Copies of this chain bind each other. A is one copy, B any other.
Amino acid sequence: MIIILKDNAQEKQIDELVEWVSGFGVKTNLVNGVHQRIIGLIGDTTRIDVESVQAKDIVEQVKRVQEPYKNANRRFHPDDTVIEVRGRKLGGGNLNVIAGPCSVECEDQILQTAIAVKEAGATMLRGGAFKPRTSPYAFQGLGKEGINLLIKAREITGLPIVTEIMDLSDLDLFADVDIVQVGARNMQNFTLLKELGNSDKPVLLKRGLSSTLQELLMSAEYIMAGGNSKVILCERGIRTFEPKTRNTLDLSAVPLLKHHSHLPVVIDPSHATGIAKLVEPMSLAAVASGCDALEIEVHNDPKNAWSDGAQSLTPEQFKETMRKIKAMSEFCGKPLDI
């Protein structure tokens, strides 16, 4: 951490500041410039709050040099984290494809879709039981019944299931879920993150609509600080001024997250674009960029879907897309985890 002092900082004030930061166990080094003086902090600054430093009278600017996260940081954990889910491996040299409908609507719909995605080569099943919807008048999900239907679909297909939690009061209902998803709108629901840190469930953590990659890693750190190291990072599009797509897929997140962290990285091209016909090219691009998994919305009848139909593939479209994803994953040396 580097602290740039104001022109008028007094010796006494500087001494006080140095004493205060020393209390965190770091060493300091004072550099006297022509217009400015700078204090460099040497040691582990993770527990020093930038804002608290910024608040000091004599501080002009504070610049962090070290990343403020440790558990999620590749610097301290050079090897890729591999998360095992019912025999499948997320994060190793394989590719996973998590497919299924936006919402679980009824038994027929989820079973038909599950069987179709399994046949097409998907390795995990997604489906929403609790749905975060912008409008209170829109379908809000089947809740507990939805989770039971997902479990039934798992029994039939053998696919591990991924579904979103919206509030920690529902946590008990997720006991038999394989991967708990935290949606973009909950990425900074810190109470929820902490509670998930106390469990040993794999957590698929989605980047917030306007969150930086560092904030995503800090939210992963919340979970990991509690002892749960099974965190999967997911880029699902960020909000920009471009109106043609629902969000803007930030694909450079893949190499960047893999550079800064050892955690697996998933791309969700369905939410990132919001347009079914963009899912295939963006999926192929994501695999080419080195992601560990894709999360793709598939519905047995998108035009009558209760949510997100416009971005859902039909089983036929998904089959064709999977054929290309499979080929691309083999070409890239990261074959499907089958």
A residues bordering B, Cβ < 8 Å?
2, 4, 29, 31-36, 38, 40-44, 46-47, 49, 51-52, 54-57, 61, 63, 65-66, 68-69, 75, 130, 132-140, 166-169, 185-186, 188-192, 194, 208-210, 212-215, 218, 221-222, 225-226, 238-245, 248-252, 254-256, 259, 272-273, 277-278, 281-282, 284-290, 302-310, 312, 327-328, 331
Contacts and interface: CB of A to CB of B under 8 A. Distances in A.
Given A40-B40, A255-B281, A242 B212 contact: yes
A136 B194 contact: yes
B252 A245 contact: yes
A167 B134 CA distance: 19
Contact of A167 (B32, B168, B284): B168
A56 B303 contact: yes
Copy number in the complex reads 4
Given A243-B212, A248-B240, A55 B312 contact: yes
Contacts of A221: 135-136
Nearest to A66: B35
B191 A166 contact: yes
Nearest to A309: B55
